[in-house]
Structure formats: C-alpha cells, structure tokens
Amino acid sequence: MFNVETIRKDFPILHRQVNGKPLVYFDNAATSQTPQQVMDAIVEYYSNYNANIHRGVHSLSQEATDKYEQARLTIQKHFNAKASHEIIMTSGTTHGINLVASGFTTLLKKGDEVIVSALEHHSNIVPWQMLCERTGAILRVLPMNDEGELVMAAYADLLSEKTKLVFVNHISNALGTINPIKQIIEQAHAVGAAVLVDGAQACPHLKPDVQALDVDFYVTSAHKMCGPTGVGMLYGKEDWLNKLPAYQGGGEMIAEVTFEKTTYADLPHKFEAGTPNICGGIAFGAAIDYMNHIGFENIATYEHELLEYATAQLLEIEGLKIYGTAKEKTSVISFNLKGIHPYDVGTLLDKMGVAVRTGHHCAQPIMDYYKIPGTVRASFAFYNTKQEIDTLVSGVKKAKMMLS
Amino acid sequence: MTIKAIQEDLIDEFSMFEDWEERYQYMIDLGKTLPLIEDAYKTQDNVIKGCQSKVWVHAEMDDDKVVFTADSDAIITKGIIAILIRVFSNQHPKDIIAADTDFIDEIGLKEHLSPTRANGLVSMIKQLKMYAIAYQTQLN
Ligand SMILES: Cc1ncc(COP(=O)(O)O)c(C=O)c1O
C-alpha cells in the first residue's frame, strides 16, 4: 500500500526547517532527496568494505567488487538490458553523453547530419555541437510547439539517409513533456540512424525498458532518482559499444600495456578508466531497489494526482501562465506570473520555506521559444503531499500580492 | 552625506522592520521607485549578466562626483540596486573605492550578495568600483 506519510519517514531532510518554516521541497527535477536506506548503504560501504575494486586479491577488495558488480546487475535488470556489460558506470548523464559524442568523432564525416530536439537540456546540446565542430557534421533541430510538444510531422522531413544520430530527452526537464521516444527511435532506425535518449528526468518517474524501446544509448543520473550525486549509467547496445573507441585512458580499462601498444579491456571496463565512484555505484543500486520497493506504478499514479491538483490550484491564480501543457507530462509545472520576474517569485517562496527552481533550467532554447527570461519550476516527487502544494499555492498568491 | 552616514541610516531604517515580509516589501517598493536608467544606456555594453536577473549600470561624472543609474529586470534585485545606488552614487571616486559593503549583512540582505547567487549584484559592486577607479585616474 502506498502511504505518503510512511514514505516521508524514510527522508530525514523533509523534516527540517528553512528560514524558520517547514521545508517544502519542490526542486526534485534538479535533484531528488535521499532516503535513509540509501544513506545506510553509503555508511555500510565505508564502515565495512571500503576497498579498491577489480584489482585486489584480499577479501575486502573482493567484497567491494562483488557489491559494485551486484549494483551493475541491479541496474541491468531495472532497465532490462540484455547483458550487464552493456551498462557503463558513469559520473552522470553529462558524462554518458560526452562519452558517446566523443566516440562518434571517428564515425561521422563532413555532411552527415545529426538531429537534436528543441526541448533539450544544455547537456544534450553542447557535446553534440562540439562533435559537429570536430567532424563537419550538421546539427538539425526537431522543433517544438506552443504546448511544449515535439512537432513529429517535422521529424519525418528532417530524417534522411544522411541522418546518423538523433538525440532527444525522454522527458523535458524544463516543461515535463514526455516525448514519444519509441516512435522517434523507430523512425530513426528506418533510415539507419542511431538514437541516444537522455533519461535524466524520466528515471524518477517511470521504468524504461531499453530492449522494448530498442534504443541504442540511454543515459541517466542516480541523483535524480534517490541516489547520490556524481554517479550514473550509460546503456549502450553491445554492437555500438564495441564500435565506439575508448573514451578516457587509464587503469581499469586496459588488457595489456607496453610502451608500443595498449590493448583495451572488454566491455564494460573499456569505458571505465580509473577508480570509479565505488560507493556511489553501490548506493545507486540501493536507490533503484528503494524505488522499486515503492513501485513505479504507485509513483506514477500518485504523482499524476499531485500534478492535476497543483495545476488546477495554480491556474486559479489570475495572471498565472503555465508553460508546457503537453498531453503527456510528468509532475513538473513551469510557470510565470504576468509582469513578474521568476527570480522574484522564487526568492519570496524561499523565504516561505518553499524550494523551487527559477531561471532557464539549462534549456535556454525553450525560453527563447517562449520569449521569456525563465520560469518558476515546481517539480513534485512521490514523497510530496497535497498540503505542501497548498503551501506553494498560498505562497505564490502572497508573492503576487507583494510584487504587484 | 558620507557613505558611512548613509549606511548607518540604512541600518537604522531596516532595524524598524519586524520580519522578512516588511523588509522585502520595503525593498520591492524601493525597486519600484528607482529612477530607471535611460533606455539609451540599457545596452549590451552596460549589462551585467547575472544569469537569472539582468542588471544595467551607467556612470557619469558630475563635477568631482560619480553618479550612477541602474536597473534590473527583477524587482527585488532592483530594490537592492536602489540601496546600493543610495550608498555609492553622488560620491567622490576615492570614497567609493574605499567603501565596504558590510552594512548589507547588518540589514539582513547578505544572501543577495553571495557570489553564488547569480543575480548580478556582486559583479555590479565590482563594476561600480571599477568606474570609480577609472574616474579617479582621470582626476589625478
Ligand atoms: C534532461 C537532463 N539532462 C541532463 C542533465 C544533466 O545531468 P547531470 O548534471 O547529472 O549530468 C539533467 C539534469 O539537470 C537533465 O535534467
């Protein structure tokens, strides 16, 4: 049974105060909070089996290696990858994207085309621009409409045999739009292009099945889904990971080194140079276990309820406009009050204990589309409540009164 | 009035506020009254990109004093600018160069001058001082 009050007991931070008021944490799209179970995994690691992995004969190292590899299996199972070596441990979404973008340097040539969606986070734009600069490939943009949905009719026109890569987020961080990635992948494959999906915003809300999606690359960060910062994963189809050259050189990623020649280790180690974030990887596994224990169906149902409740309440405020009104969206509400700068609203809400994000949310092209400097973004997680939404709504009303 | 005296006035005024709401309402109202920078000066050259809120600053000499006008697209930022202008504008360059901003702490607005706040105010103060240094060189 899903009981939010019981769940909240798992999150110590939700019981603290900010500026003398009980914290209302609505910046979940930036980073999620950490349950005790994940913190316990971190403490247990450092208390019991902290050691470097894959290289010691001693018991501690063996235990740490086993736990770390067990986390990889947890991730593999969660995303339904065919093999555990298709899961590359990374420092996060940004790292995964850069790894793939760097690898494609040798696979693209001048005149090839790559498609980026208009809804991307800067992390899923800049590495590809750099790739295009290196290779002479052309960057094309899949446009969005006023609702914040991708214009799929334009997609077919952009695709051609020149298209080599498409990158799109599963869910937009600025607007909450859930993109039709299955269709995007199918159409890309029809012209022989590979697809990278940025799942940073999707993984806290749903359970992607990489085989069912038939996606080529899927990247995410642990810190958006109850895990620690600085760790994440890149899923890649085995064929693609074999085709891509190694990214960084170092220990762990080699089979044999002489000064004449180095041969690289097999997957996944080929892409995992240096001592990884061992504790973080193990905690990532614990976070996935925790979220599955809550249950993604429960999470989706409850968060949808929060979204509908908050949307209805906020829309009652005169002059409030919500950006991103896609039919398919997650519990993210980006909004502005007429004539009022989002920064002012965010500053006053903070004084009332309500944490929201303001600004362009690392998605400047979306703000340019709407011709606004930014928005106030409230993003809800399964541990938030309707009472907290009431606090947000009355806070916005108060901010409006003070500012107009 | 000297910079120090203005700062002391401000500390006095702010000490009358009972809670954050009164303090912020005052700043917001100040923000509304700030003489706007002339549109001609709202240029790319005069903008300080604070990431979230934009700040424009213009400086000119009036006799041996520097006069600042400024603006922001966010009203709380503008309110703080109004306070900074009241302190720094119409002062002799050497006094502007020597002045500190510790009073901001005392009037409870320290968080707005944090270098990580991304509202452009820290850069704005640097800019005011740079203008003062430039004018001081001219006077010498
Ligand atoms: C859609 C999207 N992509 C990428 C990122 C970057 O994630 P990270 O900073 O963990 O690499 C984020 C996080 O803000 C995001 O929301």
The residue of chain A with its CA nearest to that of B78 is A344
Quote the distance between the C-alpha of residue A146 and its chain's center: 23
Asked whether the predicted pLDDT for residue B118 surpasses 70, the reply is no
Domain with CATH 3.40.640.10 in chain A: 39-292
pLDDT of residue A54: 86
pLDDT of residue B120: 75
B134 or B49: whose pLDDT is higher?
B134
Residue A362 known to be catalytic: yes
Rounded Cα distance between A213 and A51, Å, is 37
Within 13 Å of residue A212, how many CA atoms lie on the same side as its CB? 6
pLDDT of residue A367: 94
Determine the residue type at B19. D
Rounded Cα distance between A354 and B129, Å, is 35
Q: State the nearest Cα–Cα gap between B139 and chain A, in angstroms.
A: 39
Residue A302 pLDDT level (bands cut at 50, 70, 90): very high
pLDDT of residue A283: 98
Mean pLDDT of A5-17: 98
Q: Which listed CATH number (3.40.640.10, 3.40.50.720, 3.40.50.1110, 3.30.1330.10) goes with A39-292?
A: 3.40.640.10
Per-residue pLDDT of A201-228, as tens digits, reads: 999 999 999 999 999 999 999 999 999 9
Please answer whether residues B101 and B111 qualify as being in contact, where contact means their C-beta atoms are separated by less than 8 angstroms. no
Please answer whether residues A324 and A147 qualify as being in contact, where contact means their C-beta atoms are separated by less than 8 angstroms. yes
Look up the pTM and report it: 0.94
- Which of A192, A196, A208, A143 shows the shortest CA–CA distance to A168? A196
Per-residue pLDDT of B129-138, as tens digits, reads: 999 999 999 8
Per-residue pLDDT of A230-241, as tens digits, reads: 999 999 999 999
pLDDT of residue A258: 85
Asked whether the predicted pLDDT for residue B36 surpasses 80, the reply is no
Per-residue pLDDT of A95-130, as tens digits, reads: 999 999 999 999 999 999 999 999 999 999 999 999
- Expressed in angstroms and rounded, the spacing between residue A169 Cα and the centre of ligand 1 is 10
Which two tokens mark B4? Answer: 């120090």
Phi/psi zone of residue A249: left (φ > 0), alpha (ψ -120 to 50 degrees), beta? beta
- Expressed in angstroms and rounded, the spacing between residue B35 Cα and the centre of ligand 1 is 40
Asked whether the predicted pLDDT for residue A32 surpasses 80, the reply is yes
Mean pLDDT of A71-84: 98
- Which of A294, A317, A339, A308 shows the shortest CA–CA distance to A393? A317
Q: Is ipTM beyond 0.85?
A: yes
Asked whether the predicted pLDDT for residue A162 surpasses 70, the reply is yes
pLDDT of residue A174: 96
Helix (H) / strand (E) containing B14: helix B3-15
Rounded Cα distance between A323 and A335, Å, is 6
- Dmax over Cα atoms in chain B, in whole Å? 46
Asked whether the predicted pLDDT for residue A136 surpasses 80, the reply is yes
Domain boundaries, chain B: 3-139
Contact state of A359 with B51 under an 8 Å Cβ cutoff: yes
Domain with CATH 3.90.1150.10 in chain A: 4-30+295-403
Determine the residue type at A55. R
Ligand 1 first shell, C-beta below 6 A = A 92-94, 121, 123-124, 169, 173, 198, 200-201, 221
Quote the distance between the C-alpha of residue A302 and its chain's center: 20
Per-residue pLDDT of A325-359, as tens digits, reads: 999 999 999 999 999 999 999 999 999 999 999 99
A141 forms beta bridges with A116
A178 forms beta bridges with A171
- Dmax over Cα atoms in chain A, in whole Å? 72
Range with lowest mean pLDDT among A46-55, A256-265, A304-313: A256-265
Average pLDDT of chain B to the nearest whole number: 88
Rounded Cα distance between A310 and A176, Å, is 14
Within 13 Å of residue A85, how many CA atoms lie on the same side as its CB? 11
Helix (H) / strand (E) containing B59: strand B54-62
Which two tokens mark A342? Answer: 């989002």
Can you give chain A as a three-state secondary structure string? CCCHHHHHCCCHHHHCEECCEECEECECCCCCCCCHHHHHHHHHHHHHCCCCCCCCCCHHHHHHHHHHHHHHHHHHHHHCCCCHHHEEEECCHHHHHHHHHHHHHHCCCCCCEEEEECCCCHHHCHHHHHHHHHHCCEEEEECECCCCCECHHHHHHHCCCCEEEEEEECECCCCCEECCHHHHHHHHHHCCCEEEEECCCCCCCCCCCHHHHCCCEEEEEHHHCCCCCCCEEEEECHHHHHHCCCCCCCCCCEEEECCCCEEECCCCHHHCCCCCCHHHHHHHHHHHHHHHHHCHHHHHHHHHHHHHHHHHHHHCCCCEEEECCCCCECCEEEEEECCCCHHHHHHHHHHCCEECEEECCCCHHHHHHHCCCCEEEEECCCCCCHHHHHHHHHHHHHHHHHHC
- Hey, is the C-beta of B51 within 8 angstroms of any chain A C-beta? yes
Mean pLDDT of A290-313: 98
- Hey, is the C-beta of B23 within 8 angstroms of any chain A C-beta? no
Angle between helices B3-15 and B75-88 (to 10 degrees): 140
Mean pLDDT of A82-105: 97
Mean pLDDT of A157-170: 97
Residue contacts between A and B (CB atoms, under 8 Å): 39
Asked whether the predicted pLDDT for residue B50 surpasses 70, the reply is no
Contact state of A341 with B24 under an 8 Å Cβ cutoff: no
Quote the distance between the C-alpha of residue A29 and its chain's center: 8
Which atom number of ligand 1 is nearest to the Cα of residue A94? 11
Range with lowest mean pLDDT among A11-20, A27-36, B72-81: B72-81
How many C-beta neighbours within 10 Å does residue B102 have?
A: 9
User: Which residues of A fall within a CB distance of 8 Å from B73?
Assistant: 341, 373
Q: Rg of chain A's alpha carbons, rounded to an integer?
A: 22
In the CATH scheme, what architecture does the domain B3-139 have? Alpha-Beta Complex (3.90)
Please answer whether residues A4 and A382 qualify as being in contact, where contact means their C-beta atoms are separated by less than 8 angstroms. yes
Per-residue pLDDT of A350-384, as tens digits, reads: 999 999 999 988 999 999 999 998 999 999 999 99
Residue A268 pLDDT level (bands cut at 50, 70, 90): very high
Could you say which residues from 67 to 106 on chain B have a Cβ atom under 8 Å away from some Cβ of chain A? 73-77
Rounded Cα distance between A320 and A57, Å, is 62
Mean pLDDT of A171-198: 98
User: Which residues of B fall within a CB distance of 8 Å from A347?
Assistant: 76
B113 or A306: whose pLDDT is higher?
A306
- What topology is assigned to A4-30+295-403 in CATH? Aspartate Aminotransferase, domain 1 (3.90.1150)
Residue A183 pLDDT level (bands cut at 50, 70, 90): very high
Please answer whether residues A400 and A335 qualify as being in contact, where contact means their C-beta atoms are separated by less than 8 angstroms. no
Residue A39 CB partners (closer than 8 Å, separation 6+): none
Average pLDDT of chain A to the nearest whole number: 96
| A268 cis-preceded (ω within 30 degrees of 0) | yes
pLDDT of residue B51: 63
